[in-house]
Amino acid sequence: MKTVDAKGKLCPLPLIMTKKALNEIADNETLEILIDNETSMKNVTRFLADHGMNAHVEKKGNVFQLLVNKTGVVPESAAVGEYCEVENPIKSNLVIAFQRNRLGEGAEELGNILIKAFVNTLPEVTLKPKTLIFLNSGIFLALKDSLVLDSLKKMEENGVEVLVCGTCLDYYKKKEDLGVGKISNMYDILERLTKANSVVYP
């Protein structure tokens, strides 16, 4: 059994070492990985799970022992860096895409009040989004007369990127009324959406 000793190593090293070792062993062979911090253990476990392998984790003193059968394939191109970032709220790659000015399907007045509560709670959530995107009637949330403008400004001041669809502002003739964020286009918006670890559509 091959062993990866990643004790004392910080992310992304345990991930890189695990990836390398997996490529050196045969299918169904067992790999042992030793890690001495919980964050790295979780990152490696998640990395393995995303590539179709379930690790058996056991804590032995201060060391986590992960045992995994090579039942999946880790392509050379697999990006390990992304698995480090989720634990760090500042660098999270969560995107929230507002496609309309309401929350969910159903009664309009209920959707209107729910979206306000949603946006006003955003500054308090633990995992800060990296980018907020406003599309179609979602742009109304980012206008000067928006009732959630203060919360959005607060997010922007705290380093959250706010992108507003320029075509949509133009369509609704609201370009002059933008209250927060920067006018953006489909290229930038698609870049953010496709590079996100997860996207929330309220």
- The stretch among 35-43, 54-62, 146-154, 192-200 that binds another protein (CB under 8 A) is 146-154
The b/e string for 86-95 (b: 16+ C-beta within 10 A; e otherwise) is bbeeeebbbb
User: What SS3 class is residue 131?
Assistant: strand
- The stretch among 44-52, 67-75, 79-87, 112-120 that binds another protein (CB under 8 A) is 112-120
| Residue 150 in the binding site for another protein (CB under 8 A) | yes
DSSP secondary-structure letter at 116?
H
- The stretch among 87-95, 127-135, 147-155, 175-183 that binds another protein (CB under 8 A) is 147-155
**CA–CA distance from 104 to each of 16, 22, 65, 142, 176 (Å)?**
41, 43, 44, 18, 28
| Residue 153 in the binding site for another protein (CB under 8 A) | no
| Residue 121 in the binding site for another protein (CB under 8 A) | yes
Residues in CB range of 109: below 8 A, 6 or more apart: none
Q: Which is nearer to another protein, 92 or 151 (CB)?
A: 151
- Minimum CB–partner distance for residue 143 and another protein (Å): 16
Helices (runs of H) and strands (runs of E) counted in the chain: 7, 9
Residues that bind another protein (CB under 8 A): 109-110, 113-114, 116-117, 120-121, 147-148, 150-151
